[in-house]
């Protein structure tokens, strides 16, 4: 597991963590690494977001180990909700057992992929998202083309792109009602 943290962030002196954070988790194990990201709003307006953690789980790390580490990070960093890619159903058994409190499953349909990718592109273009200096993350994000397809490379398979898009989708306005529903377990 590789963790890039806020300690090396250019905005580390700002008091960001007084608000709740948002997580995004691209699940991998067999062929691709997993990536977990944590974003915090810069202030109460939720117009700009700062990444404070970029966590990689290498191929072969069991899902149970990944989820336990993510739960610990959620508590440590005050992350309220984590959206994860539930398209292939890797965590479905854990969800059915009630082991994923605070985790929001998202099916990455073509429509959802286009919507959250567009939101991520806009945030990056407008300077609304400040990312950590994580070279592996950059390579992963840049592997995605305009058709939202990605070639496999040493950095993975767009894992950081989708985890950041999932987190940003939660964090940006309009997610408040979803977050309340997830917290209640509805």
- Gap between the Cα atoms of 65 and 44, Å rounded: 33
**Cβ neighbour number for residue 76 with a 10 Å cutoff:** 10
Summarize the confidence of residues 71-98 as an average pLDDT: 92
Q: Does the pLDDT at position 61 exceed 60?
A: yes
Domain ranges of the chain: 2-184
For domain 2-184, say whether CATH 3.20.20.150 is its number: no
Phi-psi region of 152 (alpha: psi -120 to 50; beta: other; left: phi over 0): beta
- Gap between the Cα atoms of 150 and 163, Å rounded: 14
Q: Which of 181, 173, 166, 172 is nearest to 36 (CA)?
A: 166
φ, ψ of residue 2 in degrees (nearest 5): -120, 130
Q: Which residues partner with 37 through β-bridges?
A: 24, 54
Q: Which residues have a Cβ under 8 Å from the Cβ of 166 and sit 6 or more positions away?
A: 24, 25, 26, 83, 84, 85, 106, 116
pLDDT band of 20, cuts 50, 70, 90: confident
Summarize the confidence of residues 5-11 as an average pLDDT: 55
pTM assigned to the model: 0.83
Contact call for residues 106 and 112 (beta carbons, < 8 A): yes
Contact call for residues 164 and 131 (beta carbons, < 8 A): yes
Q: Does the pLDDT at position 83 exceed 70?
A: yes
Task: Give the Cα-Cα-Cα angle 17, 168, 80 (nearest 5 degrees).
Answer: 45
Q: Which residues have a Cβ under 8 Å from the Cβ of 127 and sit 6 or more positions away?
A: 48
Per-residue confidence (pLDDT) for residue 176, from 0 to 100: 46
């Amino acid at each position: 597991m590789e963790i890039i943290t806020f300690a090396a962030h250019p905005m580390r002196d700002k008091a960001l963590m007084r608000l709740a954070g948002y997580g995004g988790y691209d699940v991998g194990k067999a062929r691709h690494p997993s990536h977990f990201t944590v974003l915090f709003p810069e202030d109460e307006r939720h117009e700009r977001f700062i990444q404070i953690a970029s966590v990689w789980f290498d191929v072969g790390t069991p899902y149970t180990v990944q989820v336990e580490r993510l739960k610990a990070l959620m508590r440590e960093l005050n992350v309220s909700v984590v959206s994860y890619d539930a398209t292939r159903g890797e965590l479905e058994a854990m969800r059915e057992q009630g082991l994923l409190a605070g985790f929001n499953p998202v099916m990455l349909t073509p429509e959802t992929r286009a919507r959250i990718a567009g939101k991520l592109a806009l945030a990056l273009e407008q300077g609304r998202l400040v990312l950590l200096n994580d070279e592996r993350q950059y390579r992963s994000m840049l592997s995605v083309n305009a058709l939202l397809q990605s070639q496999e490379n040493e950095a993975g398979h767009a894992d950081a792109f989708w985890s950041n898009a999932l987190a940003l989708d939660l964090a940006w306005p309009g997610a408040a009602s979803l977050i309340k529903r997830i917290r209640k377990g509805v």
